[in-house]
Amino acid sequence: MLRTMERISLACFLFSSACTHASTPAPQPRASLDPTALEVVERTALRAILQEEGVSGTIALLREEEREVVCSDVVLCQQRVLPASTFKIANALIGLETGVIADADFVIPWDGVQREFADWNRDHTLRSAIAASAVPYFQELSRRVGAAREAHWTRALVYGNGDTGSAARVDEFWLEGPLAISAVEQVSFLRRFARGELPVSSRSLAVVRAILVLAEHDGTVLRGKTGWARPHQRDQHGWFVGFVERGHERAYVAVLVRPGPGQDDASFLSARRRVAEHALSSLSAW
């Protein structure tokens, strides 16, 4: 468990500019307006959350008004890997902005191909496809958007390395590469999304914000999305990215995890969100 003083210090970092603590230096002014130019500070106490779940990886946390990301491991926090299904947040925005999908209830019919996950084997709306993390829906969406527009919008959104590869990869660049993103870049993207600072319409932002709601508790709303890259391969990893809102306060989290030795899929996959919620709750954010 995190020590009491560490917990208080981190909670202050996220939600109160009036809080101070001897071990946490005051933030310095930043001259750069680059949305990805965030400083990274290590808080090794966060590693206990990963250890409790039997996974390895990193946790990144960003307070609404800061340019300083708190990470459990500063090296892993800045390492780019496949975004997997966390890219569905960006791709939903792209689909709406290009007019390929009209709204959250836009249906893409099932292609009749039986896949591993039973919930993918049916017609989906944008709303239900986000909830089920239905890869085939978003692959068809990307094919309809087309490689040129996917490339343009991914770069315009300043999403990770912005690399969507060749036209042949239009329906897999976030699953197999070359698109890659770090935990620090994930929270940067989420903050620009929540603030309305992305180059998309307020309507598109509102649609996607609404379908990302996972839970509400005592006036605080949790929004987020999971991802699972390269299942059952040596380099597999899981994501949970999201943010909590309480009034005008927000805190952003990106969790990148890999399974522990012998850990089964169910335990590993459920750990993604548990790690994120534990990190937020230990900081008095959730």
**Dist. CA 129–CA 48, nearest whole Å:** 33
pTM, full prediction:
0.87
Instruction: Indicate the CATH number for domain 82-181.
Output: 3.40.710.10
Percent of the chain having pLDDT more than 90?
A: 80
| Region(s) of the chain under CATH 3.40.710.10 | 1-79+184-197+212-286, 82-181
User: Strand 39-42 and strand 55-63: pairing?
Assistant: unpaired
Nearest CA to 74 out of 39, 34, 106 is that of: 39
Q: What pLDDT shows up at residue 217?
A: 87
Greatest extent of the chain over all pairs of C-alpha atoms, in Å: 60
Catalogue the active-site residues. 85
pLDDT tier for residue 44 given thresholds of 50, 70 and 90:
very high
Name the architecture of domain 1-79+184-197+212-286.
Answer: 3-Layer(aba) Sandwich (3.40)
Q: What value does the mean pLDDT take over residues 31-39?
A: 57
**Dist. CA 49–CA 182, nearest whole Å:** 20
